[in-house]
């Protein structure tokens, strides 16, 4: 019984080492976002609860994939749906990096205001 336990421990340790050996080159190919000038993206929001999280996550995925950091600045135009609650969750999970000094910098602008409910 002790021999079987020792054998299983040895096999488990070997498998873990093999997985680490295989995963190292794959993980090493993931680009980092440090050392590059971040891209500023301004999001205009109004009743955008259904779209906001997906857009922010896609921006971060593209940022990681391309190796270019992204900074997201939000402008809410009086949403009454769950947009503000989603913003708080994204801030808590460190998916939004907003700074006031970035407000005047050149940026890409995405208008996520829901046209069917926005006021003219």
The predicted-structure confidence for 34-84, as pLDDT tens digits, reads as follows: 677 888 899 999 998 889 989 998 998 998 888 888 888 888 888 899 988
User: What is the number of helices (H) and of strands (E) in the chain?
Assistant: 3, 3
The structural domain count of the chain equals: 2
The reply to whether 117 falls in a domain is no
Same domain? For 106 and 53 the reply is yes
The answer to whether residue 24 scores a pLDDT higher than 80 is no
The pLDDT of residue 55 is 92
Same domain? For 46 and 103 the reply is yes
The reply to whether 94 falls in a domain is yes
Would you mind telling me the total number of residues written for the chain in this entry?
Answer: 120
The reply to whether 119 falls in a domain is no
Same domain? For 48 and 70 the reply is yes
Q: Where in 21-106 does DSSP place strands (E)?
A: 39-45, 70-76
Selected residue with higher pLDDT from 20 and 27: 20
Same domain? For 43 and 12 the reply is no
Mean pLDDT across the chain: 79
CB atoms within 10 A of CB 87: 23
With a threshold of 0.85, does the pTM exceed it? Answer: no
CA distance 117 to 83: 13
The reply to whether 102 falls in a domain is yes
């Amino acid at each position: 019984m002790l021999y079987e336990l020792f054998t299983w421990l040895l096999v488990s340790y070997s498998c873990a080492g093999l997985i680490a050996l295989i995963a190292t080159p794959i993980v090493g190919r993931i680009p980092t976002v440090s050392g590059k000038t971040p891209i500023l993206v301004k999001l205009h929001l109004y009743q955008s609860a259904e779209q906001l999280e997906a857009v922010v996550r896609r921006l971060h995925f593209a940022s990681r994939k391309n190796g270019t950091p992204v900074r997201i600045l939000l402008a809410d135009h009086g949403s009454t749906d769950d947009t503000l609650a989603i913003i708080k969750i994204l801030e808590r999970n460190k998916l939004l990096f907003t700074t006031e000094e970035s407000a005047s910098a050149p940026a890409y602008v995405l208008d996520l205001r829901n046209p069917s409910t926005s006021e003219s």
